[in-house]
């Protein structure tokens, strides 16, 4: 009984029916946490990129999806219904990800939504991450140009 806490051990030590013990433990501890599921739905639905980078935003969303998946069991048979449900789930994740992006990504969001078939959320993340990197390169180039102009102006004033 080293694998059971002392409090639980004291409640089951004198039981003669193992099946009863397991059933009792399952009833006590195998509970769906409806409040947490509700909270996760709310967090997922209201999460927006804001000041986060694409990577941080996507990682945060993935963490919420993973926690949700640990609380809610999805169908896992090989049947067509299960496959359709999993495809629907992936599409919902893609839409959630795209909806939370800043408006500055509206152009690439529109391009992604026009793709047929729609990409996976991972593929969409990759495209948007590349766009973010491209913008950083362009912004970096503009900053160096602006810095050069300021440097030139300041040197001419002397």
User: What pLDDT was estimated at residue 103?
Assistant: 97
User: What pLDDT was estimated at residue 133?
Assistant: 93
What secondary structure does DSSP assign to 74-125, as a single string?
Answer: PP-SSSHHHHHHHHHHHHHHHHHHHHTS-GGGHHHHHHHHT-SSPPPHHHHH
User: What pLDDT was estimated at residue 151?
Assistant: 44
Q: State whether residue 51 is helix, strand or coil.
A: coil
Is the overall model pTM greater than 0.85, yes or no?
Answer: no
Regions in the chain scoring below 50 on pLDDT: 1, 144-156
**Distances in whole angstroms, Cα of residue 137 to Cα of each of 103, 106, 128:** 20, 19, 14
How confident is the model over 87-127, as pLDDT tens digits?
Answer: 999 999 999 999 999 999 999 999 999 999 999 999 999 99
């Amino acid at each position: 009984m080293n694998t059971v806490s002392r409090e639980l051990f004291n409640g089951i030590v004198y039981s003669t029916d193992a099946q009863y013990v397991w059933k009792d433990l399952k009833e006590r501890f195998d509970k769906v946490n409806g409040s947490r599921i509700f909270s996760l739905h709310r967090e997922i639905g209201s999460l927006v990129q804001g000041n986060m980078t694409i990577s941080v935003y996507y990682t945060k969303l993935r963490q919420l999806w993973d926690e949700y998946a640990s609380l809610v069991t999805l169908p896992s048979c090989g049947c067509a219904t299960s496959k359709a449900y999993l495809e629907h789930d992936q599409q919902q994740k893609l839409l959630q990800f795209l909806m939370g992006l800043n408006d500055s990504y509206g152009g690439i969001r529109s391009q992604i939504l026009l793709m047929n078939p729609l990409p996976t959320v991972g593929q969409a993340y990759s495209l948007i991450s590349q766009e973010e990197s491209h913008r950083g390169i362009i912004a970096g180039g503009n900053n160096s140009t602006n810095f050069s102009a300021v440097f030139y102006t300041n040197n001419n004033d002397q």
